[in-house]
Structure 1
């Protein structure tokens, strides 16, 4: 059996830095495995702006 964790992040922008790598590294240290990255919001030009990172790990 697995448990899942859903974490909101973004890839940065003109005035902000990306945080996705730090988020993945932080959760990997806790035993979480990256499953998928899904875009959740888009700007007016159809470009994704926000993402949800899905992690999994075996339940103990």
Structure 2
């Protein structure tokens, strides 16, 4: 069985830098595995502005 984590992020903009790589590496250190990146919000030109990064990790089964 797995547990899932959903993290909102952006790929940066004109005045901001992207932080998605740092987000992925930070969660990987804690045992999370990247599953998928989904765009969740678009600008007026149809370009994604916000994303949801989905992570998973195996649950430890306790007998």
Which residue in the other structure is 1:42 paired with? 42
Which is higher, the Rg of structure 1 or of structure 2?
2
| Aligned ranges 1:1-60 → 2 under 5 Å | 1-60=1-60
Provide the secondary structure at the position in 2 that maps to 1:27.
Answer: helix
Question: How far apart are the structure 2 equivalents of 1:37 and 1:59?
Answer: 22
Query: TM-score, normalization: structure 1?
Result: 0.99
Task: Mark the runs of 5 or more structure 2 residues left unpaired by the alignment.
Answer: none
Question: How far apart are the structure 1 equivalents of 2:22 and 2:42?
Answer: 22
Moved over 4 A (4+): none
How large is the RMSD of aligned CA atoms in angstroms? 0.3
